[in-house]
Amino acid sequence: MEALILGLTLGLSAGVNPGPLTVLVVQQTLGQGLRAGLLASTAPVLTDALVVLLALGLARGLPPEFHLWMNLVGGGVLVYLGLKGWLKQEGVDPPSTPTQGLRDAVLLNLTNPNAYLFWFTVGLTQLKRPLPEPWLFILGFYPGIVGAKAGIALLTARFRHLPWLRPMARWSHLLLVGIGIYLLLHAARP
């Protein structure tokens, strides 16, 4: 039971954490509607299996440069998604569909270094515990993270009429670009 509560707590905290996926969930909800935001919030369920398998199978054998490459790739993806969102709002790019938003969320989550850092550290220690604790941890974690992101999408959809929310969404695209540039610069440091 402790593993279930720990998973739920960590999932909820990761879900409300103001990061790139949260920004993307808000953007999708404002731009494409609640369905798009809810779809984007499911990205961790669709992507983390690969990360978990890597954590279990390769944790000891990964070179130290792994984190550097994840920052480079993740930073590039964030810059791309931020510019893509900005251009859509400017009318340069055709609007996306909810499933395209899900594709962006999956791409973002696969290249987000935070997911790898979590599963290669905290998550890995939970997965190596005796059965059934790893399963209980996972059964708590994913409803927590997806539920928190879905809650953000629901709140965003509910209050989308507020005059300050649209400009905030517009600037959130630049926030993604800024986070991406930070990751790129951070990776370039010796």
Q: Is 62 exposed, middle or buried (0-12, 13-18, 19+ CB in 10 A)?
A: middle
pLDDT tens for 128-184 read: 788 999 999 999 999 999 999 999 999 999 988 888 766 766 676 777 788 778 778
pLDDT tens for 38-51 read: 999 999 999 988 88
The residue ranking higher by pLDDT, 33 or 183, is 33
Domain-wise residue ranges, the chain: 2-188
Contact in structure between 171 and 59 (CB atoms under 8 Å): no
